[in-house]
Amino acid sequence: MFFGGLLLAFAVHPRYGLYTYLAVFYLHPPSRWWGDMLPDIRWSLVAAVVALIALVRLPKVVGRPSFLSLTPVWLLILFTLWVWLQLAWALDPVMQLDLAILLTKYVALFYLMYRLWTRRRC
Angle at 62 between CA 61 and CA 68, to 5 degrees: 70
Cα 49 from Cα 74, distance rounded (Å): 22
Cα 13 from Cα 22, distance rounded (Å): 15
pTM of the model: 0.74
User: What pLDDT score does 114 carry?
Assistant: 85
Better-scored residue on pLDDT, 95 or 61: 95
Better-scored residue on pLDDT, 92 or 40: 92
Residue boundaries of the structural domains of the chain: 1-58, 62-122
Name the CA dihedral angle for 70, 16, 28, 84, rounded to a multiple of 10 degrees: -30
pLDDT at residue 19 tops 70: yes
The widest CA-to-CA distance across the chain, in whole angstroms, is 48
